[in-house]
């Protein structure tokens, strides 16, 4: 007779303590930990362009951009978005954003369903996040999710942006991110 295996459900605190000792990054998803994978040249190019644009456009403002090394507590999960904007107080040595207000993911074919479903629900459970942006790596296209009048982050208040002339507008932060800058260095048909 085989013995049923019980999975240990990780708490946020246990996860933070354990992951801080690991040589690679792990995400906490539904009480389990998962190693982070790599990405394509396009994914990396868009991510670097995005983080550069955020750094430049937020310079001198109270909110700060962060990259793939700072995690976000999303509901009960711990996620590493490709970029984020944190408007919380600066805490030396913090392992996660204090008050994430915008989160950005560059979509890949293998994880798009996670970004569009599981992560959307997790970010919805984090009230400080008012904007969630999914940037397509295969063509100039992005989906921007914003909180609605009921405080929900979801498809009911989403905006699809397409074409090299489009831009992502986050008025709460007086921030405009043109696709021309995000997709710089990549060749897509106009």
Sort residue 57 into left (φ over 0), alpha (ψ -120 to 50) or beta.
alpha
The string of pLDDT tens digits covering residues 149-188 is: 899 998 888 999 999 899 999 999 999 999 999 999 998 7
Residues facing residue 27 across a β-bridge: 34
Question: Residue for token digits 């600066």?
Answer: 90
Q: Across residues 11-39, what is the average pLDDT? A: 91
The string of pLDDT tens digits covering residues 87-137 is: 999 999 999 999 999 999 999 887 777 788 789 999 999 999 999 999 999
Give me the DSSP letters along 68-82: TTSBEEETTEEE--S
Give the domains, in start order, of the chain with CATH numbers. Answer: 40-182 (3.90.1570.10)
Mean pLDDT score of the chain: 90
- Give residue 40's pLDDT band: very low, low, confident or very high (50, 70, 90): confident
% of the chain surpassing 90 pLDDT: 76
Q: Is the pLDDT of residue 1 over 50?
A: no
Q: Is the pLDDT of residue 28 over 80?
A: yes
Q: Is the pLDDT of residue 17 over 50?
A: yes
Using DSSP's 3-state secondary structure scheme, residue 52 falls into helix
Q: Is the pLDDT of residue 64 over 90?
A: yes
- Give residue 2's pLDDT band: very low, low, confident or very high (50, 70, 90): very low
């Amino acid at each position: 007779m085989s013995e049923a295996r019980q999975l240990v459900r990780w708490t946020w605190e246990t996860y933070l303590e354990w992951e801080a000792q690991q040589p690679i990054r792990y995400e906490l998803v539904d009480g389990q930990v998962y190693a982070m994978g790599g990405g394509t040249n396009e994914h990396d190019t868009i991510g670097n362009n995005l983080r550069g644009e955020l750094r430049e456009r937020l310079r001198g403002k109270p909110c700060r951009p962060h990259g793939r090394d700072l995690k976000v507590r999303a509901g009960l999960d711990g996620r590493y978005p490709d970029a984020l904007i944190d408007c919380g107080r600066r805490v030396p040595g913090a392992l996660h954003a204090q008050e994430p207000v915008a989160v950005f993911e560059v979509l890949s074919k293998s994880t798009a369903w996670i970004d569009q479903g599981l992560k959307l629900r997790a970010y919805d459970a984090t009230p400080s996040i008012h904007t969630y942006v999914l940037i397509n790596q295969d063509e100039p296209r992005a989906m921007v999710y914003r909180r609605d009048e009921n405080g929900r982050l979801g498809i009911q208040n989403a905006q699809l942006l397409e074409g090299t002339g489009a831009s992502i507008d986050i008025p709460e932060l007086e921030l405009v991110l043109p696709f021309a800058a995000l997709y710089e260095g990549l060749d897509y048909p106009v």
